[in-house]
């Protein structure tokens, strides 16, 4: 409370919990799994829930500290709720930071996710509504950020942060928003900070209504939970897979943030035929509603099921 009232720029004071652990370095290091998996042909960099569970139950964080009860609670809360978009708010600089926060070798270098263009757009949706952040006429340190945004690892690598955990463990896309130069501003500054950032926050939240959404059901009208939604974007006359799937929720609903473009959307679920639809995404600032794309999946044919069974038997011999 003393720090909050007096204000400080000390980056090393006030972040730790009662056990002196920095909670924003205490999440499972899913970036390490993702970078490792990228070396294999059939890899995944989404919904790393098994990796999360193993990390939380049998290991320590990147700094070799035990996982804290606060971290575990937030991690499971993130995975158990169908969040679409989020942000964690910091002070100490003035920039919108997007994934990845860490590079493969923990070096300071640009580390793009499969949704790099989308994350740049999300970051700009925040910074462009804050003239001081966008113009960078006053930098907090030696670094001036073009358009007020930065890739996390290009700025400085962070291991075990909440931002990348959201992206790799769930359907949620998250940014880290640095709201000002003073790491712990005094309470009297909070109204001016709110006034400076409220339009950016509102514009950022409105991005939840971009891209596509829909409901996935079977022919009987029952919701399909856990269906995999793959997205391919048409670029230079070629379909490019955005290697980050989302999944349907308990009611069969799904939400996939996307920038403008032409997409092929493919839905897969065990026991059903794969269904593909095409859509031209044209996000509008005042739309307040993502374009809807529903799917009705047909049961997988007996012939296809038999072929799968024969293949499994052959492989297991």
Question: What one-character-per-residue DSSP string does 64-86 give?
Answer: SPBPPHHHHHHHHHHHHS---EE
Cis preceding-peptide flag for 201 (omega within 30 of 0): no
In DSSP terms, 256 is beta-bridged to 212
**In degrees to the nearest 10, what's the CA dihedral of 92, 95, 99, 105?**
-60
Going by C-beta distance under 8 Å and a sequence separation of 6 or more, which residues neighbour residue 17? 23, 68, 70
C-alpha 106/C-alpha 315 separation (Å) is: 38
Within 154-256, strands assigned E span 173-180, 212-218, 228-235, 238-247, 253-256
Task: Residue 68: name the closest of 11, 101, 27, 13 by CA.
Answer: 27
Residue of 178, 220, 275, 303 marked active site: 178
Distances (CA, A) of 289 to 12, 84, 233, 255: 42, 14, 21, 11
C-alpha 144/C-alpha 137 separation (Å) is: 9
Q: Is 300 a catalytic residue?
A: no
248: its two tokens? 């349907």
Mind telling me the catalytic residues? 178
């Amino acid at each position: 409370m003393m720090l909050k009232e007096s204000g400080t720029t000390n980056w090393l004071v006030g972040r730790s919990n009662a056990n002196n652990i920095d909670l924003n370095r205490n999440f499972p290091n899913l970036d390490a799994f993702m970078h490792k998996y990228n070396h294999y042909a059939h890899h995944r960099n989404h919904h790393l829930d098994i990796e999360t569970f193993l990390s939380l139950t049998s290991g320590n964080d990147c700094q070799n500290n035990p996982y804290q009860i606060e971290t575990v609670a937030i991690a499971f809360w993130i995975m158990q709720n169908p969040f679409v978009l989020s942000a964690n708010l910091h002070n100490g600089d003035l920039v919108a930071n997007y994934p990845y926060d860490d590079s493969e070798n923990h070096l300071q270098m640009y580390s793009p996710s499969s949704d790099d263009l989308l994350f740049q757009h999300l970051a700009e949706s925040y910074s462009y509504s804050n003239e001081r952040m966008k113009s960078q006429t006053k930098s907090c340190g030696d670094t001036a950020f073009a358009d007020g945004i930065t890739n996390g690892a290009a700025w400085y690598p962070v291991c075990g942060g909440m931002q990348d955990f959201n992206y790799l463990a769930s359907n949620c896309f998250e940014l880290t928003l640095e709201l000002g130069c003073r790491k712990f501003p005094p309470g009297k500054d909070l109204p001016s900070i709110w006034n400076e950032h409220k339009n950016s926050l509102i514009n950022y939240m409105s991005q939840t209504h971009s891209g596509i959404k829909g409901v996935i059901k079977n022919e009987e009208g029952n919701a399909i939970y856990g269906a995999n939604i793959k997205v391919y974007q048409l670029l230079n006359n070629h379909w490019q897979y955005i290697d980050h799937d989302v999944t349907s929720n308990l009611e069969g609903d799904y939400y996939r943030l996307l920038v403008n473009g032409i997409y092929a959307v493919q839905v897969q679920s065990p026991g059903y035929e794969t269904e593909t639809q095409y859509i031209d995404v044209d996000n509008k600032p005042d739309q307040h509603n993502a374009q809807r794309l529903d799917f009705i999946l047909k049961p997988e044919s007996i012939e296809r099921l038999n072929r799968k069974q024969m293949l499994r038997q052959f492989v297991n011999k």
